[in-house]
Structure 1
Amino acid sequence: MDSQIRSVLPKTDFNRRSFVVTSIAAGFALAVLPVGAATITTDTTGLVAGEVKIPVKGGEIPAYRALPVNGGNNLPVVLIVHEIFGVHEHIQDLCRRYAKLGYYAIAPDLYARQGDVKKLTSIQDIVTKVVSKTPDEQVLLDLDATVAYLAGKANTDKLAVTGFCWGGRIVWLYAAHNPKVKAAGAWYGRLVGDTDPNHPENPIDIASKLKVPVLGLYGGKDQGIPLASIEQMRRVLKEAGNPSEIVVYSQAEHGFNADYRPSYNPEAAKDAQQKLLAWFKKYGVA
């Protein structure tokens, strides 16, 4: 999916006041229906969960957040960067899963200015109509705004970020952009590829400048992310003396954590999540 994001388009003015998405809807994106039998649903017992509004340049973007009812304002934070399908039910459920573990988990809708991908019926439409028009700069600043929103509500000194597919690529970029992040987890995000005015750099381009330890979680059978690109990223990280690591699950495909899709690999997903939680704890986000 990430490998399809190639269009060269003029940069979007992300300070404009026109926001296409103004609220977080329940349910799955139309492009992923029907969902599989393995789909996980996490309840809200013991949680505060639902939509909030994040002030950003030009207005507000919606976000889904979940946290323990009695968590107070000292909870560690996990920013969740959504996959190509936006903040649909799977991403909302991931927020609830992290909240059950004691985190303040929040997933802002980073496409809010460009379009509602949940209503589009094909990946190609999502890429062409929304993803290609969403500038990386806008995304990084909206994540900054999300962190700012959490000031006084959670402990942003204990800040982690994780993301999937499209969001996995963004995690690498954000780890270079915001040195206040303590630890990051990038799930099967594209590492190399073409650039354009909206997407001027790829993770490989910023790897030598990373100040944040990133755990990359990748599938050995991912048709869109060649193993050669993973090895290239590993070499650059090693040469830079960066503590980031990449784990490859040899039998896993792209989207192996997406329990609602045929690509779901429960063994790889469980192991990767355990490794990521240990990574967060190692770097003080727990």
Structure 2
Amino acid sequence: MTSPLDHPARFAQAAGAPALSAIATDVEGLEAGMTTLPGGAPAYFARPENGANFPIILVAQEIFGLHEHIRDVVRRFAKLGFVAIAPDFLIRYGDPQEAPDIEAIRAIVAKVPDAETMAIFDQALAYAATRGGDAKRAAITGFCWGGRIAWLYAAHNPQLLACIPWYGRLDGPHTPAQPRWPIDIAEELKTPTLGLYGGADPSIPAELVETMRARLKTAQAPAEIIVYADAPHAFFADYRDSYRPDAASDAWERALAFLRAKGVG
């Protein structure tokens, strides 16, 4: 599987040099590589080499794009028996992997229409179903900007069995391209959702988390938010200084247990 927009396996420039704690998951026993979705978006895909009717996990990338950390997460899920796929929904508007700094990346992200992103994830889900995945047992997870996307896609596609956003922003500028945020869709959320957040994340203040919890409770939405008190933003990003092994490990186990409990995995 190839794509003209494929990159070598590396980390985004703006994220800095990868830390020694970066996890590297091999491809032994997997079919893994790049593909191109029907609408033209590239995606990284992995699944067990043998078998069929696997649960599907959609992976929404960080603000840094479809770089090595996200590809590794895809492989981790595939090792656990998932068809996992991470579509690149940013690349049409610029390449976060090549951007020199975070401000340049934010300028790219601001251009990306949510409606287009939802359509790309629809295509990714359909593609995963053609590669041995069971579309009736599908979930989404996402990190950083992808955490925001995970919340929105769960509202867009209530057929999902589970949603796991990791430190995705809950509110922000409302623009024509990005008219809604997770805080705006709390009342319509039907997909069981487990939010994983850091209590020491200045970009997502505790007051906003509590507001989101209150809206979810009022709506009787099937969602909960776990906050790791001393964890910063990107506490799961093992290639960065923000990585907190204890919180990351606990959150990962909670995520997998949540997927199993909801019939995915």
Give the distance between the partners of 2:263 and 2:174, measured in 1 at CA: 34
Counterpart in the other structure of 1:78:
57
**Residues 1:23 and 2:3 are matched in the alignment:** no
**Residues 1:42 and 2:25 are matched in the alignment:** yes
**Residues 1:66 and 2:46 are matched in the alignment:** yes
Write the mapping of 1:1-286 to structure 2, written as runs, cut at 5 A. 22-56=5-39, 60-72=40-52, 74-128=53-107, 130-153=108-131, 154-286=133-265
Contact map agreement 1:24 1:64 (CA 8 A) in 2: no
Contact map agreement 1:79 1:162 (CA 8 A) in 2: yes
- Structure 1 residue 24: Cα displacement: 4.1
TM-score by length of 1: 0.89
Q: Structure 1: which 5+ residue stretches go unaligned?
A: 1-20
Give the distance between the partners of 1:35 and 1:282, measured in 2 at CA: 34
Structure with greater contact order relative to length (CA < 8 Å, sep ≥ 6): 1
- Structure 1 residue 121: Cα displacement: 1.4
Contact map agreement 2:57 2:139 (CA 8 A) in 1: yes
Contact map agreement 1:24 1:62 (CA 8 A) in 2: no
Letter aligned with residue 145 of structure 1: Q
Letter aligned with residue 61 of structure 2: H
Tell me the SS of whatever aligns to 1:113. Answer: helix
Letter aligned with residue 47 of structure 1: L
Q: Structure 2: which 5+ residue stretches go unaligned?
A: none
Give the distance between the partners of 1:145 and 1:100, measured in 2 at CA: 23
The number of aligned residues is 262
Q: What RMSD in Å do the two structures reach over aligned CA positions?
A: 1.2
Query: Percent identity, aligned pairs only?
Result: 49
Contact map agreement 1:71 1:102 (CA 8 A) in 2: no
Q: CA offsets, 1:94-126, max 9 Å, x none? A: 011101111111101011311111011101001
- Structure 1 residue 192: Cα displacement: 1.6
Give the distance between the partners of 2:66 and 2:81, measured in 1 at CA: 21
